[in-house]
Amino acid sequence: MVEETMTLIGASTVWHYIPTLVQWLDIGGFGRRLWQLRESRTKFVQGLIEDERKKKEDGTTTGRTMIGALLALQHKDTEDCPDQLIRALCISALEAGSSTSADTVEWAMSLMLNNPKVMVKVRDEIDSYIGKPIRLIEASDLLKLQYLRCIIMETLRLHPPTPLLVPHESSIDCTVSGFYIPKGTMLLVNTSAIHRDPKIWDKPTNFIPERFEGEKCEGNMAMPFGMGRRRCPAENLGMQMVGLALGTMIQCFEWERVGEELGDMTNGFGLTAPRAVPLEAFYKPRQSMVALLSEI
Ligand code: HEM
């Protein structure tokens, strides 16, 4: 469902520019696909709400969940927090949070497989921070794993999951660099181009996580989470999810490319910019982690 949403959001931008007759005839079937997607998303999320509602009634809720907290609000005032609102919030989080984070992990692994020295350096950082006895990395370790953070930022610079952010709209008439922009114009911010601008970045197409070390000003120009009031509200959560997934994969396994040649780094289609071809790699548990992994 997330993949279909991303494909259709990309397509719906084109949809705005095609003649009404083509829209009416639904050539290409976008209208039908959007309708089916709406139905399946509603059914799926309503199912999650019903599960949580039942758990609440049976007194079997485990821990605090987003849907649980919203149902508690609904209990106080049904009109203020109807199921429709809960569904919309869940869909926003699922759509905005899953492929962005998963694609970033996949791009980071792809970049490291093509640059094995980076993988060795970050593994050394993880091993020396965790020390002995060995344990899996945890969310609280991430603040100390600075090189891992640099790798994620450099990955987001080269492959921002939303290369044009999301469409914004000018709220007043304004002039930018001599161009008059009337109120109500759709604005797309090309972060992908900003992130590879040779006037800002040294060797812009190279994967160099070190450029994000310390307070280097180059690093301040990256904006994979957007800027201002509509900036991603879950930046910390996103960095944490990607950091934990990537850090654990590096800590636990040896990774290798499937062939001698460098991996294909072509972008696919859609609102997000996933890999055109899903990543394939060889992996095996690290000798030092076998005992710990077999306990899990
Ligand atoms: C690597 C991970 C992520 C990246 C790179 C990312 C990036 C972005 C970007 C670029 C925007 C649009 C900002 C703008 O319009 O200027 C956005 C919005 C948003 N993100 Fe994220 N995001 C990530 C993870 C997440 C996660 C994990 C969640 C929630 C679970 C999330 C929830 C949202 C929501 C709800 C919005 C819309 C905010 C609004 O419209 O005001 N994101 N994100």
Task: Give the pLDDT confidence score for residue 5 in this predicted structure.
Answer: 83
Q: Give the burial class of 46: count Cβ atoms within 10 A of its Cβ; 0-12 exposed, 13-18 middle, 19 or more buried.
A: middle
Task: Give the pLDDT confidence score for residue 6 in this predicted structure.
Answer: 77
Same domain for 271 and 147: yes
Q: Does the residue 170 lie in any domain?
A: no
In the structure encoding, which two tokens stand for residue 171, read together?
Answer: 């709220």
Measured CA to CA in angstroms, residue 183 lies from 14, 131, 169, 171, 231 at distances of: 22, 57, 8, 5, 21
In the structure encoding, which two tokens stand for residue 145, read together?
Answer: 């794993």
Same domain for 246 and 152: yes
With a cut of 60, say whether residue 14 has pLDDT above it: no
Same domain for 56 and 11: yes
Residue 74, amino acid? Q
220: domain CATH number is 1.10.630.10
Task: Give the pLDDT confidence score for residue 264 in this predicted structure.
Answer: 87
Task: Give the pLDDT confidence score for residue 2 in this predicted structure.
Answer: 83
Task: Give the pLDDT confidence score for residue 157 in this predicted structure.
Answer: 96
125 vs 267: CA distance, rounded Å: 30
Higher pLDDT, 269 or 236: 236
Q: Give yes or no for a contact between 70 and 118, defined as CB atoms under 8 angstroms apart.
A: no
Q: How many domains does the chain have?
A: 2
Residue with the nearest Cα to atom 28 of ligand 1?
97
Any idea of the CA torsion for 132, 237, 113, 203, to the nearest 10 degrees? -120
Q: Please report which confidence band the pLDDT of residue 167 belongs to, taking 50, 70 and 90 as the band edges.
A: confident
Task: Give the pLDDT confidence score for residue 17 in this predicted structure.
Answer: 62
Residue 141 CB contacts under 8 Å (≥ 6 apart), including other chains:
129, 130, 247
* Ligand 1 atom at minimum distance from 237 CA: 27
* Ligand 1 atom at minimum distance from 226 CA: 16
pLDDT digits (tens, 9 = 90+) for 179-235: 999 999 988 899 999 999 999 999 999 999 999 998 766 767 899 999 888 899 999
Å from CA of 234 to ligand 1 middle? 6
Place of tokens 């829209």: 23
Domain that holds residue 40: 1-81
Same domain for 152 and 208: yes
Task: Give the pLDDT confidence score for residue 223 in this predicted structure.
Answer: 93
Task: Give the pLDDT confidence score for residue 25 in this predicted structure.
Answer: 66
Task: Give the pLDDT confidence score for residue 64 in this predicted structure.
Answer: 84
Same domain for 252 and 150: yes
Same domain for 4 and 133: no
Residue with the nearest Cα to atom 42 of ligand 1?
97
Task: Give the pLDDT confidence score for residue 12 in this predicted structure.
Answer: 54
How remote is the C-alpha of 92 from its chain's centroid? 13
Task: Give the pLDDT confidence score for residue 270 in this predicted structure.
Answer: 66
Residue with the nearest Cα to atom 32 of ligand 1?
96
The mean predicted confidence, pLDDT, of the chain is: 90
Same domain for 134 and 224: yes
Kindly list the protein residues whose Cβ atom lies closer than 6 A to any atom of ligand 1.
92-93, 96-97, 100-101, 104, 156, 161-162, 165-166, 224-226, 230-234, 237-238, 241-242
156 vs 143: CA distance, rounded Å: 18
Same domain for 121 and 57: no
With a cut of 70, say whether residue 15 has pLDDT above it: no
Residue 287 CB contacts under 8 Å (≥ 6 apart), including other chains:
none
With a cut of 80, say whether residue 267 has pLDDT above it: yes
pLDDT digits (tens, 9 = 90+) for 63-122: 788 999 999 999 998 888 999 999 999 999 988 898 899 999 999 999 999 999 999 999
Task: Give the pLDDT confidence score for residue 295 in this predicted structure.
Answer: 87
Q: Give yes or no for a contact between 247 and 148, defined as CB atoms under 8 angstroms apart.
A: yes
**Which of 54, 53, 46, 41 shows the shortest CA–CA distance to 94?**
41
- Over residues 259-282, mean pLDDT: 85
Percent of the chain whose predicted confidence (pLDDT) is above 70: 92
Same domain for 231 and 270: yes
Task: Give the pLDDT confidence score for residue 161 in this predicted structure.
Answer: 92
